[in-house]
Amino acid sequence: MGVRLVMLGPPGAGKGTQAERYARNRGIPRVSTGDILRDAVQSGSEMGVAAKIVMDAGRLVSDEIMIGIITERLSRPDAADGFVLDGFPRTVGQAEALDDWLSGPAPLVVVDIEVPEETLVRRLSTRLICSVCGTTAVPAASVCAKCGGALTQRTDDDLEVIRERLRVYAKDTRSIVEFYRRRSTFRSVDGDQPQEQVAADIASAIASVEGVRQ
């Protein structure tokens, strides 16, 4: 039975890296909102066109558009045996819509990566990304490990912006954690550890849910 996973965590928690790693190991797609929005816009689909109009105007994409784009992506054959959601849901409305859309015996597993704020600030303020493909660089790297591109700091990774992003996360997105916390399929993982240990803890947390459901 496949796993249907939502990966949660604040900026700098490493959820994108861990989501991609887990998806690769399980042979299931990682569905990232950033990637999927770009794909939807490039495809010229009805939802993609609507998203482009909103983004070009500098506004946030509505729950209705995001839900439509995500559910269309999850309807594709490669997600039939499971998926990892990275960056969705971001609102309780999106989480409720995902519950309504999902069916089948596989549970929705939710993993929240917890990291102290000062660790997040330190990580984000020293983080480098590839100027070509946007991949976050591994520690001490001099070029992108994925494409060999030059590394640069994100424009939103200066100290003042970082603290504002974390404040917004605490104010808005943490409601998603509370929405899921009471479920038997919810797990928290200590993200203030080496990547290998975080990955092992995530795998163990998901296995504990799957073991209960078997």
What are the CA-CA distances from residue 61 to residues 13, 20, 34, 118 (Å)?
23, 24, 11, 30
The first and second tokens of residue 82, run together, are 């499971």
Amino acid in the structure at residue 46: E
Of 193, 195, 90, 88, nearest in space to 136 by CA:
195
Active centre residues (catalytic): 15, 90, 127, 154, 165
Phi, psi angles (nearest 5°) of residue 136: -70, 135
Q: Is 120:12 a contact under the CB 8 Å cutoff?
A: yes
Of 145, 186, 165, 195, nearest in space to 11 by CA:
165
Three-class SS state of 62: coil
> Up-side HSE of residue 85: CA atoms within 13 Å toward CB?
23
Region class of 115: left (phi > 0), else alpha (psi between -120 and 50), else beta: beta
Of 113, 110, 114, nearest in space to 206 by CA:
110
Three-class SS state of 129: strand
Q: Is 15:114 a contact under the CB 8 Å cutoff?
A: no
